[in-house]
Structure 1
């Protein structure tokens, strides 16, 4: 099917006149008329009826129009995807206060000329993010698929960077005075992480973490957001939570919350990037290089079984 014929049909349908469509497309009215006639012959239907005022869609034309628009949009996306610098680099992050967004912001501050669009799909299912990458809706997504074998062949998952975890507690918590903590020192303490989505990558992370170090990770109760969680921690004598060392949290000074690094081993949340296998956005290369320049974690670092090791990261 001639995509330029489909484009001519769409613009004629939207403008109501072949002449206006021709002017917009930069061709002659005769060329537009021939394209549409050829398209009608290929489809074996009449798409327009001619009137003194221009053209009107037939019932078949009305049925074909939304699909024709999708064809034109898909072609435009495909062309745009391979034109370096033609559009902003769109990257999906889990939240604008997450370590992913913080690291991207650090990169952008040192490269302000980068045309970067940071978005949040706000979905728990990594399959939705994979589909968005495949469709071209986004160029990359900070998601991890815990079984990489399930990824479609036209996308891949690479290691981005690791986010060390810290214990976040209020001033009355028994561990509040510690400068650092080992995982064994967390045993018996309630680590509250409300709203863990079943089947999500972070659900698997916490399950493996709890099993590896005999920890009590409590996901009970609805997730009312970070502000409510911080309120609870500030007043609690027995509740703690885990946060990423680069995650950005804000709370009133009166809360006096403490972020305590966990060491020997460091507990790392592995952050992966999902991107197209072929023709990724040209702006991704520099950002992936930036991830590689981040300080490495100690050799004594624990990661879940599905983590993609930095040494196996492929070039974008």
Structure 2
């Protein structure tokens, strides 16, 4: 159905005269008459009756009018959804408690005028597909995991290297340590049920295990962070890795300890991904904001004294 004819019908119905509708639409009265005739032909009914006072809706015209209004609203919403100056910036942050979410909150505080839609997608392949389809504008991810080279139309920049810490319960053998060297963790069980095979974070921890001889267990269902904290607090034989900037709250009785890991410090590399042809002004503002807060370097690895896998893109 031609939206111009529908828009002309609604204008004529509101004005009650074809001449006034023509003036509103900046067309001639003859053009209004032709559009209405075309719409009536398409629908197979009369929409208006000519009277000395103008044009009155027939019963069919009255029935069609609310649907015509809704049709125009849907069309306007469809156009607005791809107008980058009118729609929110859509950004994937993986989860609501992690460092990427913190980066986006910092951006929002600095740029409250930029409307945001925050989404949480699963893995880097899903995120890249969403960026390429236009479903989202940007994503925070670790790239590029082995076998996951970024498509040429996807750009990325490292924006944060997030140190990992050891989280233990009060009875763990390392609970009293002020810091622990990464190599010293080789004899301890590190439980991380959120590691999903095939994801970029699974590739990260697989390389960490291979290089430093660690024992990372991903057994059992992942019931979320609260259940993880409960288990770590109650099980002296288990510890877990927790990102330094992950925002967590636990009961005081848990007695959990955050212990810095050194020599080297494993850091999780966060990059911002976006489509090279995306013109959204909010994306430009986000990239500029992150450029002033980025902690990553443009070298092959992170800063001296830290560790990232060799496959991580430097910039």
TM exceeds 0.5? Answer: yes
**Mapped pair 1:76 → 2:80:** yes
Q: With the length of structure 1 as denominator, give the TM-score of the two structures.
A: 0.75
Any unmatched runs of 5+ in structure 2?
48-57, 65-69, 297-301
Residues 274, 20 of structure 1: CA spacing in aligned structure 2 closer, same or farther, 3 A cutoff?
farther
Offset, 1:113: 3.1
In the aligned structure 2, how far is the partner of 1:7 from the partner of 1:300?
63
Residues 113 and 233 from structure 1, CA distance in 2 versus in 1: closer, same or farther, beyond 3 angstroms? Answer: same
Residue 307 (str. 1) matches residue 312 (str. 2)? yes
Aligned to 1:98: 98
228 and 47 in structure 1: CA distance in 2 versus 1, 3 angstrom threshold: same
Q: Is the Cα–Cα contact under 8 Å of residues 233 and 239 in structure 1 kept in the other structure?
A: yes
Cα distance, 1:250–1:277 mapped onto 2, change above 3 Å:
same
Greater Rg by CA: 2
Structure 1 gap ranges (5+): 58-64
1:137 corresponds in structure 2 to 135
CA distance in 2 between counterparts of 1:132 and 1:37 reads 43
Find the counterpart in structure 1 of residue 124 from structure 2. 126
Q: Is the 8 A contact 1:96 1:120 kept in 2?
A: no
Whether the 8 Å CA contact 1:134–1:276 is kept in 2: the answer is yes
Preserved contact between residue 137 and residue 278 of structure 2 (Cα < 8 Å): no
| Counterparts of residues 1-316 of structure 1 (less than 5 Å) | 6-8=2-4, 19=13, 27=25, 46=42, 49-51=45-47, 52-53=58-59, 54=61, 75-78=79-82, 80-81=83-84, 83=85, 86-109=86-109, 111=110, 113-121=112-120, 123-145=121-143, 146=145, 147-151=147-151, 153-292=152-291, 293-295=293-295, 298-309=303-314, 312=315
Q: CA 1:134–1:253 in 2, change beyond 3 Å: closer, same or farther?
A: same
Distance in 2 (CA, whole Å) between partners of 1:198 and 1:227 is: 22
- In structure 1, what is the Cα distance between the partners aligned to 2:206 and 2:33? 63
Q: Over aligned residues, Cα RMSD in angstroms?
A: 3.7
Deviation larger for 140-149 or 199-208: 140-149
Q: Supply the distance in 2 between the matched residues of 1:211 and 1:141 (Cα, whole angstroms).
A: 28
CA contact (8 A) 2:232 2:239 kept: yes
1:60 corresponds to: none
CA contact (8 A) 2:161 2:295 kept: no
Taking the aligned partners of 2:274 and 2:169, their CA distance within structure 1 comes to 39
Contact in 2 for aligned 1:77/1:136 (Cα 8 Å): no
Per-residue CA deviation, residues 109-155 of structure 1 (Å, 9 max, x unaligned), is 3x15342425233x32333323332343322111345245353x443
Aligned pair count? 286
